[in-house]
């Protein structure tokens, strides 16, 4: 009997090649599409039909949008983390794709799991390390294996599929596109060549010529650092992302071009679009900086940086990551209130904050009035700078000859 195998399948060029190759090698392939958002009914139907056409024994569609919100978006917003202060790790649905694929492996009674990652990028770390963190499975990576045979991988894949009678979408032949609840990531073609992205590289955000007239406002309500409402109405997390993507994407918010350091030593350049993530991070930061103490806000940067490093490089199920998230969750006790977001196009700003937790002394207003005396202020400044003052007197003034 043929060996059962689970293939994480998106319907794109790489996983289409993987499915065809594995079927040709005699495996009983169960393709699985973990729907983490970013696709509509028509695209889901296309993926299912694509799997059938390529010879999958059975195709499985598993919902993952709520899991992505619970396991990634919540701590992402708490941390405000961006790799290199730019990229908010839209790739993190990979961890849920692997986890749910391995759950399917267990249901089917197989230890064989296949993915379409290349041997150059970071996704292979995310897939492989998650597999090893979650159990004892055998990893099969046809694209990575193919790279040992040819340096024109995409051309080889396209030719093999076409020879077998399977057409390749025009967008697949030009770009590698990844979509999920969080947004869209695009690479390939002129993007890889460090040239200006073409118009076809952008899918979620509109160009300047198509922005609506006037401005747009949205009120986001938070409870303990988690977004729970839009304009005063309770909304589930995944739907909040969908609505903000649509509302702010129409104004061109969330367009980015990013060059990152791939863990195994290359430079990777991508276009990514994430209007909702940008909006939520702006709103949360404005509220948190108003309600948390100075020391909490200072320390958060260290935790966020470490959390982002772990998530970006494949350690999503590392115990240290969960330790950091425990601190982040604890720091959100007072992050409750409503933030008004506004855009006139291109950027989004937090223009108003409503919260009973704002750390504001009614008798002290910045640059206007204070509940302490001028003498107390002068004394505080003297004591705060005492060490530097003594250094100048005893050791001389640095920077002066």
Query: What pLDDT score was predicted for residue 255?
Result: 97
CA distances from 172 to 34, 123, 189, 235, 347 (A): 19, 18, 10, 34, 30
Cα separation of 307 and 322, whole Å?
Answer: 9
Is residue 44 within 8 Å of 32, Cβ to Cβ? no
Q: Looking at residue 175, what is its pLDDT?
A: 81
Cβ atoms of 261 and 122 closer than 8 Å: no
Average pLDDT along the chain? 93
Report the distance separating Cα 275 and Cα 62, nearest Å. Answer: 25
Structure confidence at residue 188 (pLDDT): 86
pLDDT the model gives residue 310: 95
pLDDT number for residue 212 = 96
pLDDT value at residue 1: 54
pLDDT at 262: 76
pLDDT in tens, 259-307: 988 777 778 899 999 999 999 999 999 999 999 999 999 999 999 999 9
d(CA 221, CA 233): 9
Whole-number pLDDT of residue 364: 66
Domains defined along the chain, listed by start: 4-178 (3.40.50.620), 209-256+272-292+331-354 (3.90.1260.10), 362-401 (no CATH)
**pLDDT > 90 in the chain, percent:** 80
CA 244 – CA 230 distance, rounded (Å): 9
Residues in the chain with pLDDT values less than 50: none
pLDDT in tens, 314-332: 999 999 999 999 999 999 9
């Amino acid at each position: 009997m043929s060996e059962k195998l689970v293939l994480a399948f998106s319907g794109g060029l790489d996983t289409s090649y993987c499915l065809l190759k594995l079927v040709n090698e005699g495996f009983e392939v169960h393709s699985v599409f973990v729907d983490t958002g970013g696709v509509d009914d028509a695209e889901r139907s296309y993926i299912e039909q694509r799997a059938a056409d390529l010879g999958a024994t059975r195709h499985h569609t598993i919902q993952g949008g709520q899991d992505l919100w619970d396991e990634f978006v919540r701590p992402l917003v708490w941390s405000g983390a961006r790799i290199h202060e730019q990229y908010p790790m839209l790739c993190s649905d990979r961890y849920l794709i692997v986890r749910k694929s391995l759950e399917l492996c267990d249901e089917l009674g197989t230890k064989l799991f296949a993915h379409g990652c290349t041997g150059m990028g970071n996704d292979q770390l995310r897939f492989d390390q998650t597999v090893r963190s979650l159990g004892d499975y055998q990893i099969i990576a046809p694209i990575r294996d193919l790279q040992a045979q040819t340096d024109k991988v995409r051309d080889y894949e396209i030719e093999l599929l076409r020879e077998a009678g399977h057409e390749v979408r025009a967008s697949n032949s030009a770009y590698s596109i990844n979509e999920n609840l969080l947004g869209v990531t695009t690479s390939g073609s002129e993007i890889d060549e460090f040239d200006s992205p073409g118009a076809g590289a952008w899918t979620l955000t509109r160009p300047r010529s198509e922005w609506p007239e006037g401005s747009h406002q949205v009120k986001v309500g938070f409870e303990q650092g988690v977004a729970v409402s839009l304009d005063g109405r309770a909304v589930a997390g995944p739907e909040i992302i969908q609505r903000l993507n649509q509302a702010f994407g129409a104004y061109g918010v969330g367009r980015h071009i990013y060059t990152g350091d791939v863990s195994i030593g290359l430079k990777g350049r991508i276009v990514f679009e994430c209007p909702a993530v940008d909006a939520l991070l702006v709103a949360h930061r404005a509220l948190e900086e108003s309600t948390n103490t100075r020391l909490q806000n200072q320390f958060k940067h260290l935790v966020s940086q470490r959390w982002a490093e772990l998530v970006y490089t494949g350690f999503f199920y590392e115990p240290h990551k969960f330790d950091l998230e425990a601190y982040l969750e604890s720091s959100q006790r007072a992050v409750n209130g409503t933030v008004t977001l506004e855009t006139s196009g291109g950027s989004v700003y937090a223009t108003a904050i409503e919260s009973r937790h704002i750390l504001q002394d009614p008798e002290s207003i910045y640059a206007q009035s204070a509940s302490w005396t001028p003498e107390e202020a002068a004394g505080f400044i003297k004591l705060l700078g005492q060490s530097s003052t003594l250094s100048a007197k005893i050791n001389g003034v640095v920077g002066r000859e």
